[in-house]
Structure 1
């Protein structure tokens, strides 16, 4: 998949923005949290890394975004695996959190992605001074081979989520 064709693909699901809640039915739901540290310095540094795709790179994905930072409309080609076994799939940033104590973004799957759905990566600097990374997602298989390998797909999603949570 080229960057040009990535720009031409439509989103593959109708519930755009639904990671804001409530999560739509008829999907697998995932919500995971991890405290990554405390204080303003931790929050600002983690937000900078998150918004510039470092979380994804550190989790082991290849990342080819259409913009250096996550902004609404950014398209990103992600890769999972190595060599000829790499699976590539596209997503679009559908909204951004840009609040004084909350930063992050959600992206949705594009046609051709093995799953259909949306994922939110949110950092929160809480009143108790802790900085918490939360990942919220809803998804379901979009291809025949993803449906056939659904238990494996869920295991891969859980593994990548754990890697995301420890990447910042």
Structure 2
């Protein structure tokens, strides 16, 4: 894993946390295109925990054909990210110190305040970006995180990834939500490319977390 010089940058969009707003699809941030999708990926506690661990170790991104590098933790031990309630309102974090974990390859689990770089293409479209982890959720029945763009992408905006273990029927669901505002001239002139790029990313993310998906060797 390559490590570059850490830069304490802010995200390049204003509506931080808007992917958790219940009315995202009806009222997206200005000049952005919203999207959401979800799959049922199994049932039970074991499926929930396995999928949650896979999510926090970047399986959705890596199995989508994207590479991750320049992973940097939050600038200080007291940073616990931003959390949001069911209405999308920011709330205080439940704890100040966040324990850092690592996967078998030494890459840190997703952690609040972390920055990273993605590289790759989906169906010929650039998916490169510098990103910040806005928040991480690890609850009894929900595991997830939110990524926001810092720069270097053809779009600016946010993605949220959530694994939910439903109490009423024991089902486990993986949901992704996003909003994208075009940055590059081509994407501003042809908004359909923004939607096409997002559909392809969602399909790859969802397939990656599905138990039917096998990571290529």
TM-score > 0.5 by shorter chain: yes
Structure with the larger helix share: 1
Give the aligned partner of residue 42 of structure 2: 37
Q: 2:200 aligns with which of 154, 159, 163?
A: 159
- Contact 1:93-1:105 at 8 Å conserved across structures: yes
C-alpha distance in 2 between matches for 1:76 and 1:156: 20
Give the aligned partner of residue 103 of structure 1: 143
Could you tell me which runs of 5 or more consecutive residues in structure 1 were left unpaired when the two chains were aligned. Answer: none
Q: 1:71 to 1:45 in 2, by over 3 A?
A: same
Task: Please report how far the alpha carbon of residue 87 of structure 1 lies from its aligned counterpart in structure 2 after TM superposition.
Answer: 5.3
C-alpha distance in 2 between matches for 1:3 and 1:88: 16
C-alpha distance in 2 between matches for 1:51 and 1:3: 22
Give the aligned partner of residue 137 of structure 1: 178
Runs of 4+ in 1 over 6 A off after TM superposition: none
TM-score (norm 1): 0.88
C-alpha distance in 2 between matches for 1:150 and 1:80: 20
Give the aligned partner of residue 14 of structure 2: 14
What does residue range 9-158 of structure 1 map to in structure 2 within 5 Å? 9-21=9-21, 22-23=23-24, 24-26=28-30, 27-64=32-69, 65-67=71-73, 68-81=108-121, 88-127=128-167, 128-158=169-199
Tell me which structure has the larger Cα radius of gyration: 2
C-alpha distance in 2 between matches for 1:147 and 1:112: 16
C-alpha distance in 2 between matches for 1:123 and 1:158: 19
Describe the SS at the equivalent of 2:10.
Answer: coil
- Contact 1:35-1:130 at 8 Å conserved across structures: yes
- Contact 2:126-2:154 at 8 Å conserved across structures: no
Structure with the larger strand share: 1
Could you tell me which runs of 5 or more consecutive residues in structure 2 were left unpaired when the two chains were aligned. Answer: 74-107, 210-217
Task: Give the superposed CA RMSD.
Answer: 2.0
- Contact 1:10-1:111 at 8 Å conserved across structures: no
Q: 1:66 to 1:149 in 2, by over 3 A?
A: farther
